[in-house]
Amino acid sequence: MSNNLTKIHPHVCIVLLNWNRWRDTIECLESVFRLDYPRFTVIVCDNASTDGSFEAIEGWARGDVTAAVREPGLLRLMQPAVPKPLRVLKPDCERIADSAARGLPSLVLIQTGSNLGFAGGNNVGIRYALKRGDCDYIWLLNNDTVVEPDALSKIVEAAEEDPQLGICGSMIRAYASPHEILTAGGRKYNRWTGRTRTIQDVATPSTSKPSEPDYIEGASMLVSQRFLQETGLLEERYFLYFEELDWAARARPRFHLGYCPTSIVYHKEGRSIGSALDRESRSTLSEFYLTRNRLVFTRRYHPWCVLSVLAAIAASALQRLLIGMPKSAAAILQGAFASFDCAKSQGQVIR
């Protein structure tokens, strides 16, 4: 670690978004509170869960609820459990500006009041972090992850060494198969089809650092206060998916993207709403938003590619029909039609 970072230790706010997945969230929190980084605050935003998530997370912080570890190979990251009770702050979401914490509470719990989607829920946490006035970096971390103890130290070190690094990602590995690399920080985007791919062959990853990604995987994104001031918050009109691509598109050319290969995060890919890598396993909700937002993003940044993206979407719908998945095909077509209304509402960048 650089001497500069050792002396200063920028303060990091870690934002986790929860929606009906409190068991994943508290497992993640057990690993997060074992980080070796000395200055961080954890902000959990709950998107109006209906499964008692908010109360369960509070119970975990008191020591009344125990996190279950589903992957034995990662048991070392969550046990022994961190000492409880934790110091907890619960600001009123409607008066976040008046609730800036004095000191560094261990855990901030925010009830957003409704399901605001990925971007909206995370933006509540980001706004709170910025209004505290003591936050140098914000680490957006999926709640269905667990982290190595030095994951934050390493990613902050990478960001400190490169001021133009707008969004920094981690090495994302599979929770169920910890040696498997899911993505090296981010992914590449094909503007002609609206699809994404990994930067390198994750089955046989090269030892060299891959080329700069087109966007950083949303499971782990570190951004600076300066980046947020110049680029703005996540675009909430997408609701789910493509927020990361939109952020990356707005960041350039003032910032570039990168990742820290020694910041290791283990991800339970697609647990929240069934956004599985295997297209045949995706939920209809996932199919709908992926399709809608492929077109919304394309119209906004690559309008000359709309026809080719539409052709790729039609091919996807036909493929679902041929393999006996009519509901998925219908969701894809509904998403395509919905994109026209969504595109009309695209306005100014949210700040």
Domain presence at residue 152 = yes
Q: For the chain, how many structural domains are there in total?
A: 2
pLDDT tops 80 at residue 234 = yes
Question: What is the chain's mean pLDDT, rounded?
Answer: 87
Domain presence at residue 31 = yes
Q: Tell me: the pLDDT tens digits for 261-300?
A: 999 999 997 554 444 445 555 688 889 999 999 999 999 9
Of 212, 247, 267, which residue is a domain's last?
A: 267
Of 267, 298, 322, which residue is a domain's last?
A: 267
List CB contacts of 100: < 8 A, sequence separation 6 or more: 131, 132, 133
Residues 195 and 145 in one domain: yes
The pTM for the full model equals: 0.89
CA separation for the pair 284, 281 (Å, rounded): 9
pLDDT at 6: 42
Q: Are 217 and 186 in contact (CB under 8 A)?
A: yes
Residues 117 and 237 in one domain: yes
Residues 194 and 228 in one domain: yes
pLDDT tops 60 at residue 37 = yes
Domain presence at residue 351 = no
Residues 326 and 261 in one domain: no
pLDDT at 24: 97
Residues 19 and 127 in one domain: yes
Q: What's the pLDDT band for 92 if we cut at 50, 70, 90?
A: low
Q: Are 76 and 266 in contact (CB under 8 A)?
A: no
pLDDT tops 50 at residue 5 = no
Residues 298 and 251 in one domain: no
Residues 118 and 218 in one domain: yes
CA separation for the pair 61, 109 (Å, rounded): 10
Q: Are 199 and 216 in contact (CB under 8 A)?
A: no
Domain presence at residue 319 = yes
CA separation for the pair 276, 281 (Å, rounded): 6
End-to-end C-alpha distance for the chain, whole angstroms: 33
CA distances from 237 to 20, 90, 347, 349 (A): 21, 27, 9, 10
Please report, for the domain that includes residue 147, its CATH number: 3.90.550.60
Domain that holds residue 320: 279-344
Structure tokens, 348 = 């100014």
Q: What's the pLDDT band for 246 if we cut at 50, 70, 90?
A: very high
pLDDT at 209: 52
CA separation for the pair 104, 109 (Å, rounded): 13
Domain presence at residue 349 = no
Residues 262 and 284 in one domain: no
pLDDT at 335: 92
Report the range of poorest mean pLDDT among 6-15, 41-50, 107-116, 176-185.
Answer: 6-15
CA separation for the pair 223, 230 (Å, rounded): 11
CA separation for the pair 163, 329 (Å, rounded): 45
Q: For tokens 């069934």, what's the residue? A: 274
| Mean predicted confidence (pLDDT) in 191-213 | 68
Residues 297 and 154 in one domain: no
CA separation for the pair 197, 280 (Å, rounded): 17
Looking at this protein, which amino acid is placed at residue 327? K
pLDDT tops 90 at residue 3 = no
Q: Tell me: the pLDDT tens digits for 300-343?
A: 999 999 999 999 999 999 999 999 999 999 999 999 999 887 65
Report the range of poorest mean pLDDT among 159-173, 174-188, 333-347.
Answer: 333-347
What per-residue string of b and e applies to 173-192 under the rule 16 or more CB within 10 Å gives b?
bbbeeeeebbbbbbbbbeee
Q: What's the pLDDT band for 66 if we cut at 50, 70, 90?
A: very high
pLDDT tops 80 at residue 74 = yes
Domain presence at residue 184 = yes
List CB contacts of 164: < 8 A, sequence separation 6 or more: 254, 255, 256
pLDDT tops 90 at residue 2 = no
Report the range of poorest mean pLDDT among 15-29, 86-100, 160-174, 286-300.
Answer: 86-100
Of 205, 234, 267, which residue is a domain's last?
A: 267
Higher per-residue pLDDT: 202 or 32: 32
Domain presence at residue 17 = yes
pLDDT at 220: 97
Residues 178 and 143 in one domain: yes
Q: For tokens 């062959």, what's the residue? A: 201
Residue 51 half-sphere exposure toward CB, CA atoms < 13 A: 12
Domain presence at residue 274 = no
Residues 208 and 301 in one domain: no
Report the range of poorest mean pLDDT among 136-150, 193-207, 313-327.
Answer: 193-207
The helix/strand/coil state of 263 is strand
CA separation for the pair 22, 8 (Å, rounded): 34
List CB contacts of 178: < 8 A, sequence separation 6 or more: 71, 73, 74, 266
Residues 237 and 283 in one domain: no
The helix/strand/coil state of 23 is helix
The helix/strand/coil state of 59 is helix
Q: Are 118 and 125 in contact (CB under 8 A)?
A: no
Q: Are 265 and 147 in contact (CB under 8 A)?
A: yes
Higher per-residue pLDDT: 284 or 59: 59
pLDDT at 340: 81
Of the ranges 24-28, 98-102, 192-196, 206-210, the best mean pLDDT one: 24-28
pLDDT at 228: 96
Higher per-residue pLDDT: 348 or 37: 37
CA separation for the pair 12, 154 (Å, rounded): 13
